[in-house]
Structure 1
Amino acid sequence: MKKVGYLLVLVAGLFYGCTETEEINDSVTGKAYYPLSIGDYRIYNVTHVRFEQDSVSDSTTFQLRERVDTLFTNLAGEPTFKLIRSIRTKPDDSWRDDSVITITVSSSQLRRTSDNLSLVKMVFPVSENKTWNPNVFNTLEPGNARYVNVNQPYAVNGQNFPNTATVQVNDFVSVINKDVRTEVYAENVGLIYKDYEVLQYCNDNQICDVGVDYILFGYRRTETLESYGKTE
């Protein structure tokens, strides 16, 4: 009886130890910056502005909700979460399902697939100035994403987050175009802020007959976390 009891205690201890280690590793590797659990949701205030011929051609504001719906295993044996994206114009409007995205998590990276475009959003472990190519799984030109301000506080929409990591998805500025895309993730919350500014300039007076920094076309999109939680 004593031996059986000892074995039960040992097995229980090993099981608890593995569970605790996995949780610690999620924090250490940085996976806690993009938590995923069925029922989790995040609501964002979105502003999308389009530019054309150096003026605003269209501007829209709305709310976007991402909700973790289901979990399945893909053909490579990787856990993959299906997220349902819904939109509404005003906070008192009903949600309208808009699209579906999937998030695939491996030991080394997190991939997000939407409209048949797969992007590496994060790599693990998260560390300052680590770089990677977000376009490994698509046909776009290689990119150069980078972590900055890892483990730093960040405030957005009146909410203070003590531990965040910023991803510079792209940071390119020239005389003919600008492509600056930034995402901020908070530990145990996920994406809290997103700012994309993609503009095409015309600086050749012989072609455009305009001054410098004339915007031919482009857009700016910001997403700010409004609330988050878990559905029943």
Structure 2
Amino acid sequence: MPRNSGLYNAVLFLILCSIIGGCQKTIDPTPDDLAYFPLQTGDYWIYQVTQENYSLTTAATTRVFQLQEKIGSSFTRNGQLFFQIEESTRKSEKSDWQISAIRTVYKNPSEVVIQDNNVPTVSLIFPILATTSWNVNTYNARPDTLLQYKDIGRSFTVNKLKFDQTVSVIGPSDSTLIGLDKYRRVYASNVGLIYRENASLAYCQSSPDCIGKGIIASGTTQKWELVASNRLP
């Protein structure tokens, strides 16, 4: 009986396939995941950075400046291609760039890893899926910090620049009576990072008058917004 039942099911499956027009599984085309983090010597990205510093003892301060990331060179190590990123800052468009940091980055079909001050962190992993999460500190001794994808394929506007195909990377974003932590990165296909936001704030706990009122005792917020790149259309 089991053999006859199996044969019947197989025949029925073939009949249904012929009626429907074939049993080929169709897969909708998706953007190339690797295109969200393009790497090529000579590429550059310029961001308008707004940084706010808070303290109970002094007035909050806001610093606005420009930051450039530029791929200056590349090299191969153990079969893996690495790119060297030069980070520079300037006070305004009329100021000269001053190199502030140099880091390396590599990309393969599985992940993007950036090494800053000899500390490697995992910025992206592939494939890009809504169910995917990963530890940004997989390759270092820092505490585990999970990142995940959000808003895959959505449009995003920054500085009047509209990007039709983007993906967000979200990290720990906790808002409590004690403080606020936020981590967000937005990448555009064939452009790269277009927006970045970090916040680490501690709320006042020193007296009953300020507890629970969202009064910032200390901390920093920082936003990067893309203003120029050789990869813009």
TM over 0.5: yes
Change (3 A) 1:134 1:56: farther
Superposed, which structure 2 residues align to 1:61-210 within 5 Å?
A: 61-74=64-77, 76-203=78-205, 205=207, 210=210
Identity of aligned residues (%): 28
Q: Distance in 2 between matches of 1:158 and 1:60?
A: 22
Contact 1:53 1:214 in 2 (8 A): no
Question: Can you give the 5+ residue segments of structure 1 that lack an aligned partner in the other structure?
Answer: 1-24
Matched residue type, 2:196: K
Q: Distance in 2 between matches of 1:172 and 1:77?
A: 40
Structure having the higher Rg: 2
Q: 3-state DSSP class of the match of 1:112?
A: strand
Q: Distance in 2 between matches of 1:129 and 1:49?
A: 33
Q: 3-state DSSP class of the match of 2:171?
A: strand
Q: 3-state DSSP class of the match of 1:107?
A: coil
Matched residue type, 1:168: I
Q: CA deviation at 1:122?
A: 0.3
Q: Counterpart in 2 of 1:226?
A: 227
Matched residue type, 1:181: Y
Change (3 A) 1:217 1:38: same
Pairwise CA RMSD = 2.1
Q: Distance in 2 between matches of 1:156 and 1:168?
A: 17
58, 62, 65: which one aligns with 2:61: 58
Q: Distance in 2 between matches of 1:94 and 1:211?
A: 45
The answer to whether residue 202 in structure 2 is matched with residue 211 in structure 1 is no
Q: Distance in 1 between matches of 2:123 and 2:59?
A: 30
Q: CA deviation at 1:174?
A: 2.3
Matched residue type, 2:136: P
Deviations 1:49-76 (A, max 9, x none): 11111864432111111111111123x4
Q: 3-state DSSP class of the match of 1:137?
A: coil
Q: CA deviation at 1:138?
A: 1.8
> When the two structures are aligned, how many residues end up with a matched partner?
202
Q: Distance in 1 between matches of 2:57 and 2:35?
A: 41
Matched residue type, 1:48: Q
Q: CA deviation at 1:112?
A: 1.2
Please give the TM-score of this superposition, normalised by the length of structure 1: 0.80
Q: Distance in 1 between matches of 2:61 and 2:113?
A: 31
Q: CA deviation at 1:26?
A: 10
Q: CA deviation at 1:204?
A: 6.0
